[in-house]
Amino acid sequence: MQVALLRNSIKLAHKQLKVWMAPDKQPLTDLCFPSSLSILYAFKRHLNTSCFLQVLSIDPVIGAISAGNGVLLKPLELAPASSSLLAKLLEQYLDPCSVRVVAGAVTETTLLLEQKWDKIFYTGSTLAWFGSSRIGRIIMTAAAKHLTPVSLELGGKSPVITVRRIISGKWACNNGQACISPDYILTTKEYAPKVIDALKQELEAF
């Protein structure tokens, strides 16, 4: 599934490449005539999570380099084998002057956050064991020193009220390995048997 998603992203990027690479022209008042203003972003920092490692690592990179940006990718240290493979493949197939991968844990991440970036993108989870709410605050604090714009995707939980949606979110999407995958069901004691029967029925149909 992750390969298919990335393939679609690459196809879209290839189709829209000229548009995305163009400088972002900004409107000016008559006072600035005949001047013009365009925004062209440079290096983007991307911090990545463990679920959907390939998609959440590479998909933002596709968009960034398609728009003419350089990228420094810091994969999650809890998946060292996947991180090493990403570093090897990106170095092999992409220009290292445009895309670099940095491995490491807290020390390396702290040093990276001390640098000035044009954009920081972080994807993680709000789960207590993952600590991404805390990490998100650390990133925002570091970025504020340089007024760096930040995108934080901190996961969380998606409420579901129908059995079919529960099954789709829990088992259909990456076999449940997603931060938004439902982990538990809230129901009444009297209604629980009906939910279980419906789950069995939908799972068999699924």
**35 vs 110: which has the higher pLDDT:** 110
pLDDT at residue 48 in the model: 54
- Both structure tokens of 59: 């998909």
The radius of gyration of the chain's CA atoms, rounded to the nearest angstrom, is 21
Q: Which residues share a beta bridge with 123? A: 153
- Give 46's pLDDT tier (boundaries 50, 70, 90): low
Do 17 and 35 have their domain in common?
yes
Q: Considering its fold, how many domains does the chain have in total?
A: 2
Is a pLDDT exceeding 80 seen at residue 191?
Answer: yes
Do 36 and 85 have their domain in common?
yes
The one catalytic residue in 77, 91, 108, 153 is 153
**147 vs 67: which has the higher pLDDT:** 147
- Give 203's pLDDT tier (boundaries 50, 70, 90): confident
In a domain, 158, yes or no: no
What end-to-end distance do the CA atoms of the chain give, in Å? 17
pLDDT at residue 128 in the model: 44
Residue carrying structure tokens 């060292």: 80
pLDDT at residue 92 in the model: 92
Average pLDDT over residues 73-88: 84
Specify whether the CB–CB gap between 158 and 165 falls below 8 A: no
C-alpha closest to that of 118 among 52, 189, 67: 67
Catalytic annotation on 91?
Answer: no
In a domain, 198, yes or no: yes
Do 89 and 28 have their domain in common?
yes
- Give 22's pLDDT tier (boundaries 50, 70, 90): confident
Do 9 and 89 have their domain in common?
yes
- The residue segments making up the domain with residue 43 are 2-153
- Both structure tokens of 153: 């995707």
Q: What CATH number does the domain containing 82 carry?
A: 3.40.605.10
